[in-house]
Structures are given as C-alpha cells and as structure tokens.
C-alpha cells in the first residue's frame, strides 16, 4: 500500500503533457517543428527579453526536454554525465534533483565534444537519459529516483560507427552515443547498433529486452529514429553509415533496406512524409530521397533523387510545406524542394548552424558567432526579419566545438544552450 501511495504521489507531482511542451529530441514529432502559435513575428532591437541564464548545465550538447513547468537536461559535471531537473516556476529556476547517468564521456585528443550528446526523453512519470559512453538510465520524473539502468555496449553489444572519433576497445564509441531514445506505447526503442542488431526494443518500465533487429547489424550513427506508418505498416526508420532502413514496430523485422554509403558521420534525423524518406549528411556527402512502395506484398525502397546540394553536417533539416530548410556545406542556408531535390535558393545567412521551426518562423543559431536569427521561410531566399547576439559565450566549449545544441521552443519560451550556459528568452506576443 505504501508503494502504491508513493507512486500516486509522484504522478501527482508531474503535470500532464501540453501541446506546447517539448518532451524529447526535436520536439513532439521529432521533426524540429513546434505547433505553438502566438509568438513574436519580429524581435525588438537587441532581441527578445532574456528571462534568465542558468550557468550550471555542465558540458555537452544535450538539449532541454520541457513538460509544463519542469525542464530536464543532461550535462557533464566533474567526472560524471548527469541528468537534472529544473523548476521553471522560479526565475531563475531552482534545481530540483540530479541523477548520475554514467562516467563523463571524453577521450584523449578529443577537442570537439565531451559529456552527453542527447536530449532526455520524457514519458509521463518517467525520464530516460543516455550518456556518451552508452549508459542509459530511467528515473522518476518527479524525484529523479532511479528505476533501472543498462549499459549499451555491455548489455546490448552496442557499437557506434567510429569514423574520425574514438576507437575504444572492445567497443567503438566514435563521438559518443547520440541516438535519442524513443517511446512507443509500452516500448522504449533504442539504436545501439552492432552485430546483435541495429534496433533494440525494451520494456519501458523495466528495461527488459523485448526484441532486436538481428537482420541488420549496422553500427549506430548519430542520427535518431522516427516512428511512421507507410501504407498500413507501422515502422521505425533510421539512417546509418550504410544507408537508410525500416523495421517493423511490432517485432523489429527488416521491412526494407536502402544501401547508400555515407562515408563520414551521419547526424541528421530523417524526414518522412507520406511514403517519401529524406536523409542527409555533411562533410562533402549528400542528400537522398527514397520512396517506399509495396511490391508483391513486401515493402521496397527506390531512389527518387540524390545530390550534393544539401549537405547537413550538424544542424539537421526541417520540412515546411514542400521545402526542406537547413544549412548545407555547399551553398550555405538552402531551401530545397522536398519532392524533386531542386534548389530554390541558397544564401550564407549567419553561417553554419542549427534551426527549429515555429509559428511561421525559423529560429536559427550560428555555431560560432553566438548569433540567433529569426527567418521568414516563405520568401524566396534568406528572409531574415530579426537577429541578436547571445549575452555571453561558454568558457567550457572545446576548441573545435560549436553551438550544436538545437534551439527549443516551449510554452512561449526560446531555450538556447551553449555548454554550461542555458539561456531562456520570452518570445510570446
């Protein structure tokens, strides 16, 4: 009875999910698009009002997950990767609790990143956080109390594609685990990669392994999976260095496999609409769009187009209408026709960076200039309407690092992270 009452109390402390919340990486639908409205169409000179700056976020590139008046974030503090919760009813916010994820991700000679890479995933009264070394922890959202944990390399035989990164033995870790945990019903979907299977489905409440996608043994990339239904088949889609794959949401069986070698890191989350799947990678790589069709009772993938006009390295892409927006290593900021791959426009803008879309505007953050721009994507070009410079820069960002954490829009607030610094701006009308 005491356990039941404790559980009910914890649930009562967590508010229900709201339409304007941001409970996981790239938002409710993992597409970098917020459904929030009533935001400022332009900003005053100097930018929107800065509500607060939190200076104890630690190192790393994880973004905030926000549900009502609670913010969850992961960062490297001391020798640990840590998950913590902030109370947004206070300004500046109070830290409510912290929980260890695992040892701090780092390796000798790495001048690019340290600490956790990935935004926590919030599901009701539980939060899931992934550390750079593959430690995954599930905790109570209300209290931070640990429910269960696993280590992806040790328990799932995980392996990250190590191109350019760390070659830890016996498991390659590259630039650290960075594929966002995905909740689907009672399952927690992971992309550990490796010979035991690219995907793993766990019981979200216990961490018990339900199935592995053993037919596909690609190493994990830094891209995150998405849930889609194509035709009548519910599936998970993932980009790896070997191509793009879809597996059954029911049992992890391979549905289709589009082989296309990405010879450098694959980071961007795939974009899916109807039966079209779009993927892109930077470092002189390309973008590719494939169509999933049913043939003889089975699903098959066929290429629609492939070109080097969109080469997204770190910032990912968003789909607005029929246009893909993002920064390309070729041509700067680009508007690309989703269905044909034709370039609509390309301009330098604020240089390489990340973006999120909300209420008719793109929120773009420059990786090196500490510049934030508000852009109207309906014009045929870089339709900048406002910009400002962040009040200060991190002192803990490594020499080769940048502002790679994607901006977050939640409940009328814009959140931007630069390592230990988390800025909160009021962008509500």
Residue 60 lies in a domain: yes
Residue 37 lies in a domain: yes
Q: What is the pLDDT of residues 317-353, one digit of tens each?
A: 999 999 999 999 999 999 999 999 999 999 999 999 9
Q: Does the pLDDT value for residue 5 go beyond 80?
A: no
CATH number for the domain that contains residue 149: 2.130.10.10
Residue located via tokens 């607060």: 52
Q: Please give the average per-residue pLDDT across 258-276, as a whole number.
A: 94
pTM of the model: 0.94
Residue 305 lies in a domain: yes
Residue 94 lies in a domain: yes
Q: What is the pLDDT of residues 176-196, one digit of tens each?
A: 999 999 999 999 999 999 999
Residue 11 lies in a domain: no
Local structure of residue 3 (DSSP, 8 states): H
Q: Does the pLDDT value for residue 14 go beyond 50?
A: yes
Residue 252 lies in a domain: yes
Residue 7 lies in a domain: no
What is the strand order of the sheet 371-375 is part of?
33-34, 353-358, 361-366, 371-375, 384-389
d(CA 50, CA 55): 14
Total domains, the chain? 1
Q: Does the pLDDT value for residue 12 go beyond 90?
A: no
Residues with Cβ < 8 Å from 140, sequence gap 6 or more? 10, 125, 126, 127, 147
Residues with Cβ < 8 Å from 112, sequence gap 6 or more? 175, 398, 400, 401
Q: Which domain holds residue 223?
A: 18-426
Residue 3 lies in a domain: no
């Amino acid at each position: 009875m005491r356990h039941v009452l404790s559980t009910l109390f914890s649930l009562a402390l967590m508010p229900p999910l709201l339409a304007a919340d941001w409970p996981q990486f790239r938002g409710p639908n993992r597409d970098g698009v917020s459904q929030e409205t009533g935001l400022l169409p332009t900003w005053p000179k100097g930018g929107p009002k800065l509500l607060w700056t939190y200076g104890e976020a630690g190192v790393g590139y994880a973004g905030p997950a926000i549900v009502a008046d609670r913010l969850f974030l992961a960062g490297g503090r001391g020798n640990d990767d840590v998950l913590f919760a902030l109370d947004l009813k206070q300004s500046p916010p109070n830290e409510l609790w912290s929980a260890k994820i695992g040892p701090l991700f780092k390796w000798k000679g790495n001048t690019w990143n340290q600490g956790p890479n990935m935004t926590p995933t919030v599901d009701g009264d539980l939060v899931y956080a992934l550390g750079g070394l593959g430690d995954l922890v599930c905790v109570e959202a209300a209290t931070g109390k640990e429910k269960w944990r696993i280590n992806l390399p040790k328990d799932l035989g995980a392996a990250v594609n190590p191109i350019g990164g760390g070659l830890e033995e016996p498991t390659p870790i590259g630039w650290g685990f960075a594929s966002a945990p995905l909740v689907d019903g009672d399952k927690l979907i992971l992309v550990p990669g490796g010979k035991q299977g690219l995907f793993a489905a766990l019981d979200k409440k216990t961490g018990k392994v339900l199935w592995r996608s053993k037919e596909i043994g690609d190493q994990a990339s830094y891209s995150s999976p998405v849930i889609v239904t194509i035709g009548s088949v519910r599936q998970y889609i993932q980009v790896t260095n070997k191509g793009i794959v879809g597996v059954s949401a029911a049992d992890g069986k391979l549905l289709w496999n589009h082989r296309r070698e990405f010879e450098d890191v694959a980071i961007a989350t795939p974009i899916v609409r109807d039966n079209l799947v779009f993927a892109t990678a930077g470092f002189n790589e390309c973008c590719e769009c494939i169509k999933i069709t049913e043939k003889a009772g089975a699903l098959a993938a066929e290429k629609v187009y492939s070109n080097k006009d969109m080469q997204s390295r770190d910032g990912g892409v968003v789909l607005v209408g029929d246009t893909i927006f993002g920064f390309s290593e070729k041509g700067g900021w680009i508007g690309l026709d989703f269905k044909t791959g034709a370039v609509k426009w390309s301009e330098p803008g604020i240089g390489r960076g990340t973006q999120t879309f909300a209420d008719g505007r793109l929120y773009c953050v420059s990786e090196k200039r500490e510049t934030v721009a508000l852009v109207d994507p309906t014009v045929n070009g870089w339709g900048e309407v406002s910009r400002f410079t962040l009040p200060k820069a991190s002192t803990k960002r490594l020499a080769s690092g940048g502002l790679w954490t994607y901006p977050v829009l939640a409940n009328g607030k814009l959140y931007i992270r630069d390592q230990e610094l988390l800025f909160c701006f009021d962008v509500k009308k």
